[in-house]
Amino acid sequence: FAVVVVIAAATRRLAVRPMIVAIGAASTVVAGNLAMHSYLSERLWSTTNRPGNVGEASRIIASFSPSNLGDTLSTSFGHLWYVATVSFGVAVMGVVALVWLVGRLTPFTDSSAGARLAALFALLSVAGVAALSAGLLSEPTGVLPAWNRVDYRVYGRYLEGVSPVLILAGAAWLLRSRNAWRVWGIGAAAIPITGLVLVLWRGSEQFTGSVQKLTIPGLLGLQTLVDSSTTVFLQGLSILAISLVSAAVGLAAALYSRRRATPAIVAVIIVSVAITFVGKATSWDPFVSFWFDGYNNVPVALSELPEDEPVAYDVRFFDGHARNLYEFRLAPRRLVFVDGPCDPSGGDILISSNDEEQIGIPATLIAADELPGQAVWHLEVSAAASCRQP
């Protein structure tokens, strides 16, 4: 953002004063974000030797190399399709509005710089988050698990943090311009086309498989409308059907907004809230209840132990979903990751397989979670000490 602002100033398209303000504001936002991230990471993970989250920057950079660029672009396309679809095309109208505001022919002067710099900052923020989202979740980075995670193709969790800016920009433009409804209509009509392109680009088989509902909350209601059998688990997404439903709502609202913009926006909000509640009741709630109940016994049992008792996590029976929940529920308890009960960095409390034979040394079961197939054990002190001898 700072580089763009400096170039604009150097080419006399931006006055010096707003340039300084813009760079200062952007730097403050970035510094505040980094400070918050550091604080939260320290609070949540400082007591663990948690694997992962190391080298993410290098993986993101690698995803944009020439050999990986095709997959990264298709992933980014799917993520942007998500934003357009869940907003019924309003986000598309917002992008056009911001681009128009930034790209006006008049120079950035002191009087016009505020709005235009805000629009530029919004566009670059969305573009940056979209690039990071695609870089983290494209297959060449090695982040994807062995099974087919459909939601990675249309991941919405990251972009949902910045998409409200686009939606608000689109709504504001609609209220002020008589021609904005045409852009809205075109954006809504393009959703099924982009959905078809996405399916052809990635292949239809890429949208059949495991779906993590926590990453695509905006699609759950639409998926429920086109597939009423959806309950605890999803085994695929109906991309084309979802696109058609979203386009129908967006087109109807866009045509109505030609005469009355405010009621059209209110109607879309009401429809969006209603669809969200449908998804929550029929898809989200059963999934969250199942997920938390399935991983509940181990953290409950550990919470009853003395807080100074270290807990070891056996990486031989590693489960990513359980690991996240255990760390969240156990913070700030010390949680270390070990390679079996004989790892010298471990203690007498071990999270491992719920099969006693796989522990390898005498141990007493404290509690078990059947869903991830894991349990917490109290190791026999003499046996643990014996196997940890060099």
**With bands split at pLDDT 50, 70 and 90, how would you rate the model's confidence at 143?**
very low
Q: Taking the model in full, what pTM does it have?
A: 0.73
Q: Is the pLDDT of residue 287 over 60?
A: yes
pLDDT of 330 reads 67
**Residue length of the chain:** 390
pLDDT of 72 reads 84
| Residues 6+ away with beta carbon under 8 Å from 303 | 329, 330
Q: Is the pLDDT of residue 33 over 50?
A: yes
Q: Is the pLDDT of residue 256 over 90?
A: yes
pLDDT of 40 reads 67
**With bands split at pLDDT 50, 70 and 90, how would you rate the model's confidence at 82?**
very high
**With bands split at pLDDT 50, 70 and 90, how would you rate the model's confidence at 145?**
very low
Angstrom distance (rounded) from CA 357 to CA 354: 9
Give the residue among 377, 359, 375, 372 at the shortest CA–CA distance from 320.
Answer: 372
Q: What's the average model confidence in pLDDT over 87-105?
A: 86
Q: Is the pLDDT of residue 110 over 60?
A: no
Angstrom distance (rounded) from CA 58 to CA 390: 36
Q: How many CB atoms lie within 10 A of CB 274?
A: 11
> Could you tell me if residue 192 is left (phi over 0), alpha (psi between -120 and 50 degrees) or otherwise beta?
alpha
pLDDT of 2 reads 55
pLDDT of 105 reads 46
Between residues 287 and 42, the one the model is more confident about: 287
Q: Is the pLDDT of residue 62 over 80?
A: no
Lowest mean pLDDT among 99-108, 141-150, 155-164, 341-350: 141-150
Q: What's the average model confidence in pLDDT over 168-185?
A: 89
pLDDT of 54 reads 43
**Residues of the chain above pLDDT 90, percent:** 19
Q: What's the average model confidence in pLDDT over 136-164?
A: 73
Average pLDDT taken over every residue of the chain: 79
